[in-house]
Structure 1
Amino acid sequence: MLRFLLYSLLSCCFVISLLTSVSSNAQPSADKGKQASSTPLRIAVAANFTPVLKVLLEDFRKQTGIKTQIISGASGAIFLQIKHGAPYDIFLSADSRRPKQLEQAGFTLKNSRKTYAIGQLALYSATKNSLEPLSLEQLPLNLLKSPPARLAIANPDIAPYGKAAKEALNHMGLWQAYQNRLIKGINIGQTFAQVRSKAVSSGIVANSQLVINNLSGVLIPTSYHQAIEQQLIIIRASKQQVAAKKLSDYLLSAKSQATIVSYGYAAMTLTNNSELMIDHEF
């Protein structure tokens, strides 16, 4: 409870700082039109997608001329900031739960909630030979025969990638065996850092983290867990809804989706009635 209160207090302080900054930089009423056109599109994005977004925004700016500003962080922290009035225009979350909650609470532009990426999991170790043999078929047996002393995953109770990791371990019949070996990170970023630094021998991380850093691991099929739907929403209070809609459309375009998949996310398609379908690779 104390951690939650401190977390909320820090989020509120961050929002107040942002609002103060925006207010102090406001122009006189005669310059409002010019001010609106020069203000960058404020994009709040989950840390796991930030590197990919930076690549995509280079082409987006060339195509549209729209200036952008990235605010990267944990989806939970950004969620709280939006609820307290943070002046963001669009939010790219690492899950679907928080965008849905913001939509239900009236913080979003109607019909703006979209799935822009599907996360994938991978088993990774920075310790040589600790995951041999690296084959999906032998993975459950290998983990049972030679389990690592500790296995890092994101916290299943608060992190979407952690929830999926728990489901994948259950699917392989390994969850009970690993109960006392788990090191739970606050988010998938912390989990990846723990394994890459060799503080923990092995971990279930985001596949995109491995692709971006030119690392290898064992890709865990999306069929082993519920889809990690990363959704976006446009903030209803935004003054740049048109620009935000252009970014949303751009991220969902075939070209952008191909880029997103190339960075380790799963491919997705939409049926005629807009239901999400995942192209399973296994």
Structure 2
Amino acid sequence: MSRFLFCLSLWLLGTVAQAQAHAELRLAVAANFADTLEALAADYQASTGDKVTVVRGSSGKLYAQIVQGAPFDIFFSADADRPKALEAKGLVATGSRQPYALGQLVLWPAGPTPEDALKAFAYGRFSIANPRLAPYGKAAMEVLTKLAILDKAQPRLVRGENISQAYQYVYSGNAEAGLLARSQMRNDDDFWEVPTNWYAPIEQQRVVMKNSKLQRAAEQFLAFMQTEEAEARILSAGYRLPGAH
């Protein structure tokens, strides 16, 4: 190899290494977990210096964007179905599909008793996430069906594009109550945790995208999420951890 080619090779390697060092991880995350993930990303950036960009949306819309080629490195879905579908399409790094949190559905506000609040199903505007796009909306429909009040509730349902918008409808007074995510509640909020046997488990899964150019950085971030500090933050945000009973 000529001296010129040798020097050129060193320059190219240095340029690639520098580009990798300054690359930003792009994380697509379901709306319910977005605030928690942004807090985790801030912790990660503070400890490593690596940059992370968090893009939030409904699981359905993010899934569609990924299928169309959106350049995300990791997808944190609010369900297991969409990560499985991406895996079936060959868009996922081998072995990267894993659960990261278990979501919990709550009724808010709950009133003096949960039974009082449930009257909103039949007599007021009631907020849920769009069941076609958001797993929490699908779980809400399962609860309405189990209680045999879906027919009464249907005309009065206000469907948010995602769970964040569903929360906003209640917060702003555009709906009297709603079936929302436990992670959206403050400890002093008047909410009631819906029994977990009233709906299918909301197992939230994540995947590393096969076309990501930052596979190693993605793996490092996911390893960080399994530390005690990160898991404590996830629990305090209102989720259960995979494997919890």
Which band: TM-score by shorter chain? 0.7 to 0.9
**Pairs within 5 Å for 1:101-250:** 101-125=85-109, 131-134=110-113, 139-140=114-115, 143-144=118-119, 147-211=122-186, 215-250=189-224
Deviation, 1:255, is: 3.2
Counterpart secondary structure, 2:186: helix
Distance 2:130 2:71 in 1: 29
Structure 1 unmatched runs, 5+: 1-27, 126-130, 270-277
Contact 2:121–2:153 (8 Å) recurs in 1:
no
Deviation, 1:51, is: 1.0
Larger RCO: Structure 1 or Structure 2 (Cα < 8 Å, ≥ 6 residues apart)?
2
Look up the match of 1:14: none
Structure 2 unmatched runs, 5+: 1-10
Instruction: Look at both structures and tell me which one has the larger radius of gyration over its CA atoms.
Output: 2
**TM-score scaled to structure 2, two decimals?**
0.85
Q: Deviations over 1:225-255 (max 9, x none)?
A: 1111111100111111111011122223343
Distance 1:71 1:158 in 2: 16
- Residue 84 to residue 207, structure 1, CA distance change in 2 (3 Å): same
Deviation, 1:105, is: 0.5
Select the residue among 53, 71, 79 that pairs with 1:87: 71
Contact 1:117–1:265 (8 Å) recurs in 2:
yes
Look up the match of 1:259: 233
Counterpart amino acid of residue 31 in structure 2:
A
- Residue 241 to residue 143, structure 1, CA distance change in 2 (3 Å): same
Contact 2:97–2:205 (8 Å) recurs in 1:
yes
Counterpart secondary structure, 1:109: coil
Distance 1:59 1:189 in 2: 23
Look up the match of 1:273: none
CA RMSD of aligned residues (A): 2.4
